[in-house]
Structure 1
Amino acid sequence: MILVELERLGEDKLKEAIENVEDTNIELWVKVDRILERVRNIIETENRFIELQRMFTPKQIN
């Protein structure tokens, strides 16, 4: 999953990769920041959903 891969790489690696691009103008950084914010929101939502799933999944009695 793309989100898992982005989370694994982390923001620092993503920014480092972008720094290596020659055309690093301010518009590019603004776009990157927006993308990172969206990714953070998606990951948070996904984590909340997983937590809710755990809360409402019946526990098995052994």
Structure 2
Amino acid sequence: MSTETTNSDQDEIELMACHGITKTSVDRYHYKTWSYSNISDAAAQARREAESEPSR
């Protein structure tokens, strides 16, 4: 990953500083085509799907 700051990155930094805006990273959990903000919801969907599949 590059440590260089582009003009658009610098513009974003300045805009955030000017208005007191903060930025955070958010973890996402993916199960097939779905995306969840917490592991419990992702696991619940996986369980529901496993329960609905016919036994082999």
* TM-score bracket, shorter-length normalisation: 0.3 to 0.5
Which structure has the highest helix share of the two? 1
TM-score for both structures, normalised by structure 2: 0.33
TM-score for both structures, normalised by structure 1: 0.32
Which structure has the highest strand share of the two? 2
Greater C-alpha radius of gyration: 2
